[in-house]
Every structure is written in C-alpha cells, then in structure tokens.
Amino acid sequence: MKNQKKILVTGGAGFLGSHLCKLLVSEGHDVLCVDNFYTGNKKNLEELRDNPLFEIIRHDVTFPLYVEVDEIYNLACPASPVHYQHDPVQTTKTSVHGAINMLGLAKRLNAKILQASTSEIYGDPEVHPQTEDYRGRVNILGPRACYDEGKRCAETLFHDYHIQHNLRIKIMRIFNTYGPNMHPNDGRVVSNFIIQALNNEDISVFGKGDQTRSFCFVSDLIRGMTSLMNSEDQFIGPVNIGNPHEISIFELAETIIELTNSKSKIIHNPLPVDDPVRRCPDISLAQEKLNWTPKISLKEGLEITVSYFDNLLKKAANGAFN
C-alpha cells in the first residue's frame, strides 16, 4: 500500500485506543498495539486478532520499549477517577515516565508522536468555555492531581522535546468522550448512568446535578485525533477535541432514563472533592486548523452506546463476558 505507515498505539486495548487501532488498520496501516491491560481489554480488539496488519504486545510504558515505527500515538494511562485514583503513584508514573520513554523512542526513530492529553489539565475552570491558552485551576494535592498533574507534566515534556530536539509532536486535549468499548465499571458518568438505567437501579447524581459536561462520541473524537496527527508539522497544538454542546448531569440522567425506558429514579449524593462545576471546550482552533467539528448528536451517540451496554449485560448474564 502506498503511504502505509508502521504505527504504535500505546494503551491500544483501551476505550479510545481500540477504536484508533481499528481505524488505522482499516486505512491499511501496520499497527502495533501496546497495553499492560490494567484497564484495557483484548475483547475490544477481537475483530483485529487475525488481521496481518495488527499486532498486540503486553508492555508497561513506564519501561523503555524498543520497536521500529513511523508514528506513535501515546494513549497509555487510566482515564477514569475510579481507576487512576486506585494507584495514584503509578498513574503519575504512567503519564510522566511513559511520556519520557515514548519521546525517547520517537527521538531515536525520528517518528512523529501524539500525546493524548486531557481537559482535566484545566481543573475546575474559571474560564468558560475553555480555550487552549487558559492555564487552568488545578489542586496539586487533591485526589485528582495524580492524573491532572501527570498529564500537565507530559505536555511540558512533549513541548520541551520539540524545542530542544526538534521532535515532531502533537498535543491533543481530550474532553469527555463516550461510546462502545467503554469499561462498564470505570465510574464514568455515561457508562454509570446507562448501566444503572438498564438494570432499573437508582441513578446516582452528585450534588444537584447542575454541573455541566460536554460529551463527544468516540468516532468523532478519533477522527479529530487522526486529523491532528496528519496535520502540518508546524501545528503542534495543544488543541481541544470535544463536543461543545453543554448539558447538565441531571439532564443527561433524564435523557438516558428516557432512551432506556428505565424505571430508575434519580438520587443525589455528595459532590466529590475537586469535581469541576463546568467543563466545555472551545473548539475554534480545531475548526480552523483541522477543519474538524463533531457530527454525531448526543441522542444518536447515546442510542448506539445504550445498545452496546445492553448487549454487554446480556452476554454477562450468559457468562460470555469478563
């Protein structure tokens, strides 16, 4: 294939990584997926198992990796609070040591490398919507700091490698994303609400539920990710990728109850420490530089995601899913 690349995806068995691997293989690229399976799952990549363009190895990015590739997508890191707070030291090491190891690999190979950063670097923002030049408001000693500060440090490392070694880098700040292959027990709001609704359990909303989020469907997010990687080298980011449609958590719960015809009731629990009140991206830069904007509406995306979790629960009931 003309223009075929060898592409490394760290965290490739996770939610976002598995969708990225599938897209890259479908485009004819030779894809190496690296994952330590802390939150990733081989079942997410079942359809690629026998594809000659796809290879998967178990590896922790906090240790050096020696492979030959043209591009690197660095996605490795647990991304939901329930997982990244379980072992905060390891979370920070994954972001920082993982970035150092992947940047070192990219430098040796002269490979282009993309960092999957996060909207969490903005913390509980005072600026709304968030633009890329906003420096954030993060509690460096809070329960979310291992993830927030780890990702912030990774961005610094990427930028410094670019300045000091002329490395070709891309920095992408990912806002809330949802869709098939989300871990059913990762504690994220969309998966939580859908699982609770499908089981007709009470839906747990923190506080009054008036805090807002913006939710991007996974196919839109991955399209933004590859658009950034394939953009001109002079544009390194950081760039926000997310859906600017803002919705309150209470409205989200009501929408999911309606879509699932659930008998669930909404209950209110205390707000977690440092939970952001508002979170919404300004995507002007992505629109200008990448000609990117999300296409999937929240209702359409939720219908697809509800169907995925409904099938997952049925398989689990039959002992077919772990």
**Which residues participate in catalysis according to the annotation?**
147
User: Could you give the maximum distance between any two Cα atoms of the chain, in Å?
Assistant: 58
- Please name every residue paired with 34 in a beta bridge, in sequence order, or none if there are none: 10, 57
Q: What is the distance between the alpha carbons of residues 63 and 78, in angstroms, rounded to a whole number?
A: 16
Q: What is the distance between the alpha carbons of residues 40 and 37, in angstroms, rounded to a whole number?
A: 4
Inter-residue contact 132 to 285 (CB < 8 Å): yes
Residue with tokens 């807002």: 212
Helices (H), 261-297: 284-290
CB atoms within 10 A of CB 2: 4
Cα distances (angstroms) measured from residue 315 to each of 10, 38, 318: 28, 22, 5
Name the 3-class secondary structure at 172.
strand
